[in-house]
Structure 1
């Protein structure tokens, strides 16, 4: 039963991540993308940590320091790289390269560090999903191909892949809630200098408060908690492929909320994305034993 729910939880996380772009359109004009990312981690990390402390679930005994640092640094690196890539090369290309490269990089990391060869189902699903993302991105009116932006997007994809790989190790012996709380609190600390570098006055406006709370609590705290719980029974490479539901959600929200129009090619891309995700859910890899999973 737990294995069945794993992919569903990750898809729910991807759905919440997919609301990020729509939410950002409601932020004040003077809100810098990197400042939004830093505020997002600060709100998400602190709120999760407070919940863990109030519930008394923070047990630091035998806590894996090295893995925690890698996960925290990976997520701290992901934020500025991703938002910078989107700023430089455009939302379409920046998002597609970041989200599309993550499953491939995750599979390579599993092969290098865990000596696990990706399954045929994973390969077919990842291929379909990435092509779907590319077709979906062609709907955008303009495409900006900038070498630096592409490198930043690839760096963000690699950072997310590292986060997924290491987080699965962390939740073997600790609750998903405590792991996400500790990792994101540390990530917020690492990114805290950006809160003093950029103008943060936009957070005093009503729209700024609403966007920050949504991004921090919903798309960070709740979403990454769901992702961590899903990782308890799903390989990191499969989990990252399932996260391709994020651009799918973003496209749907763009149509129904932002009144954007999708052409025929984009709808084909959506269909391929759905087929790729359905393959992973319909033909899951055999359950991999974990040493011990708490609170999942």
Structure 2
């Protein structure tokens, strides 16, 4: 896989993530978001793991367990912090702070740990995307600035950046599909208690099951496999910046499918988000990763 294709593969994975919000609108609203998160990880991870075990396509000899455990813990705590921040400070602020801070944290972590200084292209693309993300969400009503919620959002952004970095280490030793299967199965086990702590009424209905299956298979298994496959050949900071295609996709689908209306400021944010993503994707070239 060429590096240009790797950027596009990561981008497609992020676009699939962006369908999550729209899909959840078809789910009974009695189900707690964190219960949904635990369910999608369980379906996404366990289904892949069972298939691989049956086909004998997974080999645990010389498996990078330390990096895998770090990745699993990061993803599990990310779910808790992100959904909790949204409850405390609202969808707009929680999403902007989490998604906007992740690329910055990723660039800093790469600079400190991998000794890879951010490139001018990455800085320009990330700045455009973050400003676009802010314009897209910050003009919405019902914004609540809760210090604890902001702290949780920043923690979620940091954990997603850290997950991407340690996942890259896992991918240096195993293929994307087994990596996703094991990491998400471990994360799902960590989140299982939340299925008993939060409201799950409606989860076992036809609509609830169909939406959770879509979330688990398409927006978790397939999306993270694509993200991981591309991550093998591009810097983790670039992959995290490309993940900003998630809110871009969510905003567009909210207009097309859900029927929401966006203001001129929101459309300006979409244009800047798209511009930042295009700058990074079209500039894909050989770099040491």
Which residue number corresponds to residue 170 of structure 1?
A: 170
Cα distance between partner residues in 2 of 1:81 and 1:189: 17
Distance 1:134 1:224 in 2: 25
Checking the alignment, whether the CA contact within 8 Å between 1:14 and 1:242 is kept in structure 2 is yes
Deviations 1:211-252, CA, capped at 9 Å, x for gaps: 211111111111101100010111000000000000000000
For the residues of structure 2 that align with 1:50 and 1:281, how far apart are their CA atoms? Answer: 34
In 1: Cα distance, 2:169 partner to 2:93 partner:
31
- Offset of residue 164 of structure 1: 0.4
Give the aligned partner of residue 51 of structure 2.
51
**Secondary structure, counterpart of 2:79 in structure 1:** helix
Q: Partners of 1:84 and 1:213 in 2: how far apart? A: 23
Q: Is the 8 A contact 2:45 2:185 kept in 1?
A: yes
CA RMSD of aligned residues (A): 1.2
Distance 1:199 1:255 in 2: 29
Aligned to 1:237: 237
* Aligned-pair CA distance for 1:2: 2.2
Q: How does 1:122-201 map to 2 (within 5 A)?
A: 122-201=122-201
State whether structure 2 residue 210 is matched by structure 1 residue 216.
no
Q: So what's the TM-score if we normalise by structure 2?
A: 0.97
Q: Is the 8 A contact 1:68 1:170 kept in 2?
A: yes
Q: Distance in 2 between matches of 1:26 and 1:215?
A: 12
Give SS of 1:44's match. helix
Rounded to whole Å, the distance in 2 between the matches of 1:193 and 1:39 is 11
Equivalence map 1:21-36=2 (5 Å): 21-36=21-36
- Kept in 1: contact 2:93–2:138 (CA 8 A): no
Give the conservation status (yes or no) of the 8 Å contact 1:139–1:262: no
**What is the aligned partner in structure 2 of residue 4 from structure 1?**
4
| Whole-angstrom CA distance in 2 between matches of 1:162 and 1:125 | 20
- 4+ long deviations beyond 4 Å: none
How far the C-alpha of 1:285 sits from its partner, in A, is 4.9
Structure-2 residue corresponding to 1:251: 251
TM-score normalised according to structure 1 size: 0.95
CA contact (8 A) 1:133 1:273 kept: yes
Work out the number of aligned pairs and report it. 289
- Counterpart-to-counterpart distance in 1, 2:279 and 2:45: 33
List per-residue Cα deviations over 1:32-55 (Å, max 9, x = no partner).
111111111111111111222233
Gaps of 5+ in 1: 290-296
